[in-house]
Amino acid sequence: MGEAIDLKELDALANAPLTVTVGGRMVPVTPVRVAELPAMLRACEPIFSQLAGGDVAAALLHNPDAAISAIAVGARLARADIDALALDELIELGGAVMQVNADFFARRLAPAFVAASERVTKALGGSTPWPNLSGQDSPPPM
């Protein structure tokens, strides 16, 4: 048998920054933090459908200002630094921001949300927060 897998080491590797060289410098891209989430969501709102398809170029074509702002937030760079990039560098950096954050949302945020929802349901004695809804319905709009 081979060596045992060290899950902490594996998790550290999975959470290592994705480093992209743009504008003559190395930019480590990591998942957005809670403090950055409002700015990221504001920037992404006009381009969610393009981003959901994983297409940075389509997001840039649909709403360049929103896409560039989202990349700036996700890369933790000033907008002026992003504005100075060549287009191919912008797309490469945008792809890295999407890759790192898609992984973050799928592996971290979604499971945490499900776990929190299950705790709330359990705390309510097994009932859903919306007792008048059948299992087929969705929660009321916010």
Q: What is the CA radius of gyration of the chain?
A: 19
Sign of CA dihedral 21, 54, 44, 83: positive
**CA–CA separation, 108 and 26 (whole Å):** 26
Residues in the chain: 142
Q: How far apart are CA 27 and CA 10, in angstroms?
A: 22
Q: Which of 3-7, 50-54, 71-75, 112-116 has the highest mean pLDDT?
A: 71-75
Burial of residue 6, with CB atoms counted within 10 A of its CB: 0-12 exposed, 13-18 middle, 19 or more buried:
exposed
Place 16 in a pLDDT band, splitting at 50, 70 and 90: confident
Instruction: With respect to residue 41, please indicate whether it lies within any of the assigned structural domains.
Output: yes
Q: What is the pLDDT of residues 50-80, one digit of tens each?
A: 877 778 788 889 999 999 999 999 999 999 9
Q: At what angle do helices 64-75 and 37-44 cross, to 10 degrees?
A: 160
Residue 43 has pLDDT above 70, yes or no: yes
Look at residue 118 and tell me if it is in a domain. Answer: yes
Q: Is residue 69 part of a domain?
A: yes
pLDDT at 58: 87
Residue 128 domain-assigned (yes or no): no
Single pTM value for the model? 0.66
For residue 98, the enclosing domain spans 8-123
- SS3 label, residue 31: coil
Residue 138 lies in a domain: no
112 has a pLDDT exceeding 70: no
Look at the chain and report how many structural domains it folds into.
Answer: 1
Tell me whether residue 28 is in a domain: yes
- Residues 74/40, Cβ–Cβ less than 8 Å: yes
For residue 134, being part of any structural domain is answered with no
What is the per-residue pLDDT for 30? 93
| Residue 103 placed within a domain | yes
Distance CA 57, CA 94 (A): 9
